[in-house]
Amino acid sequence: MTNLKLSVTQKIPAFKAGQVLVLGVTTEAGKLQLREHSIDASTLVGLDLASLGVSSKQEALVRIPGPNGAVFALLGTGTDELDEDSLRELGASAARQLNAAREIVFDLPTDDERDAVSILEGAMLGVHRYSSAFSKSAKKEVLAAVTVLSEHKVSGGQIQRSRILARAVGRVRDLVNTPPNLLFPKSFAEIVSAESKDFDVKVTVLDEKALKTEKFGGILAVGQGSSRPPRLVKIEYKPKKAKKHLALVGKGITFDTGGISIKPAASMVGMKYDMTGAATVYQAILAIAALELPIQVTSYLCLAENMPSGTAIRPNDVITIRNGKTVEVLNTDAEGRLVLADGLSAASEEQPNLIVDVATLTGAARVALGDRYSALMGTADAVSELEAAAFDSGELVWHMPLPVELRSRLDSDVADIANAKIGSTAGGMLLAGVFLKEFIGSSKKTGKMIPWAHLDIAGTANNESAAYGYTPKGATGVALRTLVSVAEGMSR
């Protein structure tokens, strides 16, 4: 995908073998119709499209032979007017279904340059494949070029931005899809250190000895049951012209058994994806650095493997988080909030303008919002900023409350706070947010809580069903583009 030739042009290409020409199909007055297009599609005139299986249903795709060995791909686009989001979805769906083509040419209606580049961005998101753990006999990609026909000019900078975002989303997916015997705290930290050398960032890795010295009690506690010790990876991007500081904190549980509060076997499958938050904030800062945005960004990757053993934390253990607060652990499967507590405490010490944490935190998020909406909680100003960024990126978030009355459920007789309420599932997603709020520091300038947003992506980070739009089966890479959009907004 990195070598994929991308272009937006008004020039109509000549028909040739290996080329697939994507045309949109809609329904008007009960009859199938082609959307507005520029390519000569006269060979399709008179064909009974319905009898050929063509449909206007979103993402339905039928191939029909074209002139000189080219192929028409008639893509269902629904009946609504097409916008950036729908064009991004359609571009991805077509590219995914046409992965054996040498060149894909999109001839869909575009109202402006953002529409045109959205198709390109979608196509790049759609063609990504995870292949690292497959044998060498796995099918290789052949797609070499994606062209969008549009009368609207798109700058090289706009195309490059989409390429950077698609690459970052792809790397998140790759990391999340990696088997847990290959990706664990130490190897994850080594990957970050190696890959980051190509970017203008500084990487600091704290091993278990340094974590103890620096009082990261939450990360240490969660990781103490594993033979593969935990890590905190801090990545810093500090351009000279930066006026604001964004802190990103990611949950990085490389595998979650639940610990002593062990999960049922069926619930444990897929728990390699519990490090999605860390992968997301890692790739977000690299994308921000690649875009050379004038904003200081610090990412904290809180990495641990949650395993049951003779050294694992137990229910009723009390641990001390970096900010000095003590936590009684009542459920060792509520471990993500413990590592995030350390990360949020460390982020608060640097007094950023905004803290955003990203985590596959609670199964309750999926119960409440399904698998397409990420839960968003936090301070009012931060929530507004994240909502705007998500809307601009075409990603779905839903603002959830942080009810004050829930705090009493986390009262402990032996510590400042408990990490869970045993015996009650009511408001589990909200209760986790209330817990995290305890570890956000105050601004020295205003005396108020530092603006903070929490994204619970437990339902959206992994797609167990069939692919749709730019969302593949498996790791989705959700929230990456939203985080970059937040940084772009703060840079203005």
**H/E segment holding residue 234:** strand 231-237
**Gap between the Cα atoms of 264 and 257, Å rounded:** 9
**Gap between the Cα atoms of 121 and 102, Å rounded:** 18
Tell me, yes or no, if 366 is annotated catalytic. no
Closest CA to 218 of 291, 327, 375, 374: 327
Q: Which amino acid is at 167?
A: R
Closest CA to 122 of 146, 156, 157, 153: 146
Q: Going edge to edge, which strands form the sheet with 326-329?
A: 317-320, 326-329, 417-418
**Gap between the Cα atoms of 407 and 394, Å rounded:** 33
Options 171, 228, 322, 337, the catalytic residue? 337
How many CB atoms neighbour CB 193 within 10 A?
A: 14
Residue 313 near residue 220, CB atoms below 8 Å: no
Tell me, yes or no, if 337 is annotated catalytic. yes
Residue 233 near residue 210, CB atoms below 8 Å: no
Residue 431 near residue 419, CB atoms below 8 Å: no
144 by DSSP, 3-state: which? coil
Residue 482 near residue 389, CB atoms below 8 Å: yes
CA–centroid distance for 476 within its chain = 6
Options 215, 263, 407, 409, the catalytic residue? 263
Closest CA to 483 of 288, 237, 252: 288
Calculate the dihedral angle through the C-alpha atoms of 125, 131, 132, 136, rounding to the nearest 10 degrees: -150
DSSP 8-class letter at 178: S
Annotated catalytic residues are 263, 337
